[in-house]
Structure 1
Amino acid sequence: MPPRLHRHVLCTALLGGAAAVCAQESHLPEVQVRGPRDATIGTADSASEGAAERESFQSRPKLRPGDIVEAVPGVVATQHSGDGKANQYFLRGFNLDHGTDFSVTVDDMPVNMPTHGHGQGYADLNFLIPELVSGVRYRKGPYFTDSGDFSLAGSASMDYFGALEAPFAEATLGGHGFKRLLAAGSRTVQDQTWLGAIELEGNNGPWDVPENLKKANAVLRYSQGSQSRGFSITGMAYRSNWTSTDQVPQRAIDSGELSRFGSLDPTDGGKTQRISLSGKWFDKSAEGETQISAYAIDYRFDLFSDFTYFLNNPVNGDQLEQTDRRRVFGAQASRSVANRIGGLDGLFNFGAQWRGDRIGEVGLYQTEARQRLSTVRNDKVSQDLFSVYAQQFVNFSDRWRGYVGLRGDTLRYDVRGREPVYGPANSGKGHDSIASPKAGLAFTLTPAHELYLNAGTGFHSNDLRGSTITLDPQSGLPADRVPALVKGRGTEIGWRFQPGEDFTLTAALWQLKLDSELVYVGDAGTTEPGRASSRRGIEATLRWKIDRAWRLELDAALSRARFRGVAPEGEGNYVDNAVERVFAAGVTYADGPWTASLRLRYLGPRALDTTNSVRSRSATLLNLGMRYAVNRNLTLGLDVFNLAGSKGNDIEYFYASCTAGEVVGGSCNGGVNDRHIHPMEPRTARVSARWTF
């Protein structure tokens, strides 16, 4: 195979980041200071895949670490509780709760937690240090074999730098008691590099009950090797505790019982910690590419929440404690090799993955002021997900290329209930398997236009406590079991226009069908499997580097989500809280000592119940970030969040609750259906000073 064509075939197979290096004789390792570049014509496999470049997402002001996922077009990250809790995510017609159907990895380690104490697929990114992220690679839809659990709507992959341009220390102060210290640096001797970072953060927020966030974070990485072969070992440690203001009923604000930033339970909050050790090894040559990685994670989580107040327990209140104690182990290996099929040049990619979760305790307890009153569930869970996949890419001609692939997943699990009344009946073990075929086709219409067709099946796993349950632990009544793995099917037609490296316009028309929808349950503050659903939508993105200084980004996403089949009596077919419209616009200026970024995000109204009789309000957010390099060492920064002072809401739900006043006044009557909201934070400014050594 001619070398030029050989490299072209390799480029076709690799996502975003590899596109930056395919023009060279050897691939650059991930430890390079420069992050991945966006997908391009001739290398992309769908219109909705890509990579956010470092210059784009690093310049954006970020209220929380998880906001970095908004670098993925169409994704919205909000919050409905304290800053130690995972973000609330929206994408492609989904209210993804805290991560279900949106897979997130950091440094090849999974962030989503199955069978989690708070919600299935819980993806807490608060351990992330955004300044260390080299790039955000993303895909949407179940079209690629190396994407597994929780990736039906999409996936985002983030890597840390292996080396920094220079060591630095940064201090940030902001309104409402925000303070942050960050120090990071690296040292390279020959082919060996050490990188370290430490972060300390505190925040009270605008809430009437101060959040009192206390957060500590550290990273240490050692990497060694050349551009073609090397390895890295990374340790991370994170700890956080906070007091949260959860969502409150709109009626309490309207009546004056609460201020907009008030709380009905000042003892809500939590604490969490995450310690990990991971390693990666790669070998890249003209013949192919091999990657092997492994990780071990120790995770602790305690959360106290109260969503219904005094509805279920008029005396002690409805506060719940959710706990999670687990260790996560995993490994994955992949190999890509050039081949020929029927005289056509191709690339064969195959791999295997394993993830094992050893959950010592996943619990749900009824509490009052963080004191346990009774045990609803206390389980010990062991689960292993084994996966294998293979994908064949083929260049049919200079204009046509495509791929077919197959992924197989087998889940084995063992649930042991330790709550004495219903625990034994809800225990059990089992297994489930699923096969997921994938396919894609790309046609280069002209050097500036490319068309794509993608189809595939994928899956998400359910909370395994639901796969072994026989009796409802609160009522004692019989309960239906749910499948451990739920299939989804997706298709997409896309177009990419790229007349040069400084301008990209993409559009995609997509649909996704799920065999079982995960829906929000207000009285438990969690999700449960529901009816089958169907989604479809259209999205477009524009990335334009206007000149040396100016960069423009525009995103638009329209979605429609409905349950399939005949609706039960009293219900409709709208999917609760499914996002319908998302628009985002950003402009970045970088020239000389000045860098500035202005970012607008619009989250449109959506149905809050299945009949569409109650809809959320829209929420528009405008953020501004500015940096000025005083000299080669000192850089001053200013971030202003919610610049326009919008009074929108980060999240809205519609369900029944009962306040203490309604209990005393006798007006509860089984609960008052109402809109429950968590407001966006008001206009807030933060100033920073960075000293580069």
Structure 2
Amino acid sequence: MKNPKSILRIALFFIFFLSFKILTAQQVKGYVLNNKQPLATAYIYNLDTKSHSHTADNGYFVLENNKVNDTITISLLGFKKKNIVLKEEDFNTTISINLERKIFQLDELVLSEQENVLNTLTKIDVQTSPINSSQEILRKIPGLIIGQHAGGGKAEQIFLRGFDIDHGTDISINVDGIPVNNVSHAHGQGYSDLHFVIPETIESINFGKGPYYANARDFTTAGYVDFKTKSSIENNTIKLSYGDFNTIRTLGLFNLTDNNKNSNAYAGIEYIETDGPFNSSQNFNRLNLIGKYSTLLQNRNKITTTVTHFNSRWDASGQIPNRAVESGLIDRFGAIDDTEGGNTSRTNINLEHKFFASDDTTVKSNAFYSHYDFELYSNFTFFLDDPINGDQIKQKEDRSIFGFNTEIKEQNAFNNEIIETTSGIGLRYDKVNDVELSHTLNRNTTLEFIQLGDINQTNAFAYYKAGFDLGKVKITPGLRLEYFKFLYNDALSEDYETQSETKTALLPKLNIQYNQNNNLQWFLKSGIGFHSNDARVVVSQQGRDILPKAYGVDLGNVWKPTKNLVINTTAWYLFLEQEFVYVGDAGIVEPSGETERLGLDLGLRYQLNDYLYFNTDATLTKARSIEENDGEDYIPLAPSFTMVGGLALNNYKGFSGALSYRFLDDRAANEDYSVTAEGYFVTDFNLNYKFNKNLTLGISIENIFDTEWNETQFLTESRLQNEIDSTEEIHFTPGTPFNAKATLTYNF
């Protein structure tokens, strides 16, 4: 038997050893800031113990497993990296680290340091080629293509991942926590008009493809996009632009709180007008206003108030039939009915509160109100149904939206690993008066009401997700709960009746991320999403197909084979319980059957040198209807191949600019692909020269090669006034021809 004193010495040694390890491997807590403003998602890494962490929204971090004299590095793309050697006093206080801004370089991107690499790459795209027009806002999403077909005032048509999304049926769009999609809209479910956003006020874009995100809202099937507007502006800015087709744009952004470290306020005004390239003038004009005020409270808590107003009116030449152009009746920019057009407005009031309940708990809330007016005149079939007056229709509504969102993020350390949990609740209530679809004449006379009524729609939701950071692997399960109540009062019914339906849904998600090394990251995403149905369709079907679900899975990677090259690849599959199909003769969206899509996303970013940056994104998709026979199962207008990209010049001897392109392949216009919607390849160009820190002159050219292309196309049955029989064929809106615009920018 061993000597008891020896056993005691051994025990004391182990106790001392364990105590030494506990005392010498400790937590480090701190904030990462830029000029007193918190920096989220900064990467904290201990070079000695290999432990790591990310900052929360308030810039706060907790780093486990540290010792005196360890070196930690703090990095965030777009800021100078900083190294700190830990001292004894750093373990007894909350340290503060300030990072300085710098021009980004792609060789600084370390994949393992990013929480969402694809969002980071989009941030780089925006920095290299800033957003200068409302049409460019959505084009910054990799692989997304838009089209306009109603004189510039109507919301753009969206194409993404094999979807002809129309105006938003399968993508959730939000700005500062305010939903842009309009449910049960007069023109179509999910209608999303982003024209109330002044492009120069956008600070960041957060997006995700597929239905894999617990915090993403209604319509997240192909994906979601969240825009964040700036809390402050560095300079006052005045812009003046003039271009072809009598196009004028003026912009003013004004800083209202100079030299105030705790408060920021700015106001902006944008005005646009143009006649457009059509033979009949578009008479388009748009006015945008924004006012934003934010103030820092104690403990870096923050309150922000934003008020925006937007008003637009336009005339349109509408979609024209191929036969009218081929016969010489009109040219490509002519019209069969040039009395189409409309007007719309939206006022938003948004109050945001960011509250740091503790160092590792952040509470973000916003409450909002929107008032929205919409009136649109269209004529898709000309004289098919009414050979005397024509088939013009009016779609109109008056909408109020009330809502709030609250989200709580917490970081907790467990066994030297970080667990980040996110939970949230929210409410959206839409009160829509006089939702109208009617037969009209010359935009003045209502010949017949087809639909007329009031809609009340409530959507309450809650979600939870937990991110388990296990070193190289991060596992994030999530769950989302949805509740809907639909109310509709049909004003055309002889008897007053409130038709109502309710529905709930539970939507699980699971995402796994694996950092094989600093230059290769793999991910597996899975989940169930949905898009809600129009309230009028829901009550008429007595509750069937209220919240058709979308089941999806993504498997992909992001690879950095060289310091200046990043490649991302994703194979994906998506099944929808119900497709929405655009019906041209009624100007509405109707539900269809089950569909499936499988595809491949490819992306490439390459920095040629300090000044030149190339990016491209391509999507290959097979989209089919499950309930139809082979050969008759094509989904009309679903893209099979898209590609977007460009070459950007950044700050070379005062010059900056970009050459950008977009390609949409030929695609089926009907179920058996007997009719083709023609594809296109269009190239745009812009170049700016900065004379000094105050003055910049720019020129932008759309369709630089003057390509003849059809921006939007539909297979529609129509009849012209002099025709006896109707014809079903492609109807299209011509794409913009070559046109140039010059812009003078003055900062002060």
- TM-score between both structures, scaled by the size of structure 2: 0.84
Return the offset for 1:399: 1.4
**Residues 519 and 560 in structure 2, CA contact (< 8 A), matched pair in contact too:** yes
How do 1:586-605 residues align onto structure 2 when only pairs under 5 Å count? 586-590=646-650, 591-605=652-666
Q: Is 1:289–2:362 an aligned residue pair?
A: yes
Secondary structure of the equivalent of 1:295? strand
Deviates more, 1:378-387 or 1:280-289: 280-289
- How many angstroms apart in 2 are the aligned matches of 1:51 and 1:130? 19
How do 1:243-262 residues align onto structure 2 when only pairs under 5 Å count? 243-262=315-334
Of the three residues 637, 643, 657, the one matched with 1:577 is 637
**Residues 650 and 679 in structure 1, CA contact (< 8 A), matched pair in contact too:** yes
How do 1:61-140 residues align onto structure 2 when only pairs under 5 Å count? 65-140=134-209
Of the three residues 317, 340, 360, the one matched with 1:268 is 340
Secondary structure of the equivalent of 2:126? helix
Secondary structure of the equivalent of 2:111? coil
**Residues 27 and 228 in structure 1, CA contact (< 8 A), matched pair in contact too:** no
**Residues 393 and 440 in structure 2, CA contact (< 8 A), matched pair in contact too:** yes
Return the offset for 1:275: 0.5
Return the offset for 1:632: 2.6
Aligned to 1:321: 394
- How many angstroms apart in 1 are the aligned matches of 2:570 and 2:58? 20
Larger RCO (alpha carbons 8 Å, 6+ apart): 1
Of the three residues 607, 620, 629, the one matched with 1:558 is 620
**CA distance 1:270–1:316, change in 2 (3 Å):** same
Secondary structure of the equivalent of 2:558? strand
Return the offset for 1:42: 3.1
Secondary structure of the equivalent of 2:268? strand
- How many angstroms apart in 2 are the aligned matches of 1:11 and 1:525? 46
Aligned to 1:185: 254
**Residues 151 and 276 in structure 2, CA contact (< 8 A), matched pair in contact too:** no
How do 1:277-676 residues align onto structure 2 when only pairs under 5 Å count? 277-284=349-356, 286-339=359-412, 344-370=417-443, 371-396=445-470, 398-420=471-493, 427-469=498-540, 482-498=544-560, 503-567=565-629, 572-590=632-650, 591-662=652-723, 666=724, 668=725, 671-676=726-731
Return the offset for 1:341: 6.3
**Residues 58 and 131 in structure 1, CA contact (< 8 A), matched pair in contact too:** no
Return the offset for 1:622: 0.4
- How many angstroms apart in 2 are the aligned matches of 1:275 and 1:136? 22
Question: Bigger radius of gyration, 1 or 2?
Answer: 2
Deviates more, 1:42-51 or 1:636-645: 42-51
- How many angstroms apart in 1 are the aligned matches of 2:197 and 2:564? 29
Alignment deviations for residues 179-237 of structure 1 (CA, whole Å, 9 cap, x no partner): 11110021341311111100111111001110001211100000111794212100001
Q: Is 1:691–2:691 an aligned residue pair?
A: no
Aligned to 1:56: 126
**Residues 33 and 162 in structure 1, CA contact (< 8 A), matched pair in contact too:** no
**Residues 75 and 89 in structure 1, CA contact (< 8 A), matched pair in contact too:** yes
- How many angstroms apart in 2 are the aligned matches of 1:516 and 1:43? 39
Aligned to 1:168: 237
Unaligned runs of 5+ in 2: 1-25, 29-43, 46-50, 60-74, 83-93
Secondary structure of the equivalent of 1:66? helix
- How many angstroms apart in 2 are the aligned matches of 1:424 and 1:598? 59
**Residues 331 and 353 in structure 1, CA contact (< 8 A), matched pair in contact too:** yes
Question: Aligned pair count?
Answer: 666
- Residue type of the partner of 1:279? L
Aligned to 1:208: 279
Secondary structure of the equivalent of 1:2? strand
Q: Is 1:231–2:303 an aligned residue pair?
A: yes
- Residue type of the partner of 2:536? R
Return the offset for 1:436: 0.5
**Residues 57 and 362 in structure 2, CA contact (< 8 A), matched pair in contact too:** no
**Residues 21 and 28 in structure 1, CA contact (< 8 A), matched pair in contact too:** no
- How many angstroms apart in 2 are the aligned matches of 1:560 and 1:618? 16
**CA distance 1:505–1:600, change in 2 (3 Å):** same
**Residues 462 and 482 in structure 1, CA contact (< 8 A), matched pair in contact too:** no
Secondary structure of the equivalent of 2:151? coil
Aligned to 2:3: none
Alignment deviations for residues 538-585 of structure 1 (CA, whole Å, 9 cap, x no partner): 0111222332211111111111110113449xx821111001111122
Return the offset for 1:7: 6.6
Return the offset for 1:356: 0.7
- How many angstroms apart in 1 are the aligned matches of 2:234 and 2:412? 39
**Residues 234 and 277 in structure 1, CA contact (< 8 A), matched pair in contact too:** yes
Secondary structure of the equivalent of 1:117? coil
Unaligned runs of 5+ in 1: 471-479
- Residue type of the partner of 1:578? A
Alignment deviations for residues 244-286 of structure 1 (CA, whole Å, 9 cap, x no partner): 1211111111101111011111110000000010011113564
Return the offset for 1:510: 0.5
**CA distance 1:33–1:419, change in 2 (3 Å):** farther
- How many angstroms apart in 1 are the aligned matches of 2:545 and 2:677? 32
- How many angstroms apart in 2 are the aligned matches of 1:298 and 1:204? 28
- How many angstroms apart in 2 are the aligned matches of 1:388 and 1:278? 20
**Residues 248 and 273 in structure 2, CA contact (< 8 A), matched pair in contact too:** yes
Secondary structure of the equivalent of 2:143? coil
**CA distance 1:61–1:145, change in 2 (3 Å):** closer
- Residue type of the partner of 1:403? T
Alignment deviations for residues 111-146 of structure 1 (CA, whole Å, 9 cap, x no partner): 110000101100111112111111222110111100
**CA distance 1:496–1:58, change in 2 (3 Å):** closer
Q: Is 1:199–2:270 an aligned residue pair?
A: yes
- How many angstroms apart in 2 are the aligned matches of 1:131 and 1:12? 23
Q: Is 1:2–2:2 an aligned residue pair?
A: no
- How many angstroms apart in 2 are the aligned matches of 1:342 and 1:519? 52
Alignment deviations for residues 132-176 of structure 1 (CA, whole Å, 9 cap, x no partner): 111222110111100020111011111111111210111100101
- How many angstroms apart in 1 are the aligned matches of 2:435 and 2:354? 36
- Residue type of the partner of 2:264? T
- How many angstroms apart in 2 are the aligned matches of 1:172 and 1:566? 51
Secondary structure of the equivalent of 2:324? helix
Return the offset for 1:430: 1.5
- Residue type of the partner of 2:293? Y
**Residues 322 and 731 in structure 2, CA contact (< 8 A), matched pair in contact too:** yes
Of the three residues 30, 41, 48, the one matched with 2:111 is 41
- How many angstroms apart in 1 are the aligned matches of 2:324 and 2:591? 31
**Residues 90 and 96 in structure 1, CA contact (< 8 A), matched pair in contact too:** yes
Secondary structure of the equivalent of 1:67? helix
**Residues 146 and 389 in structure 1, CA contact (< 8 A), matched pair in contact too:** yes
- Residue type of the partner of 1:643? I
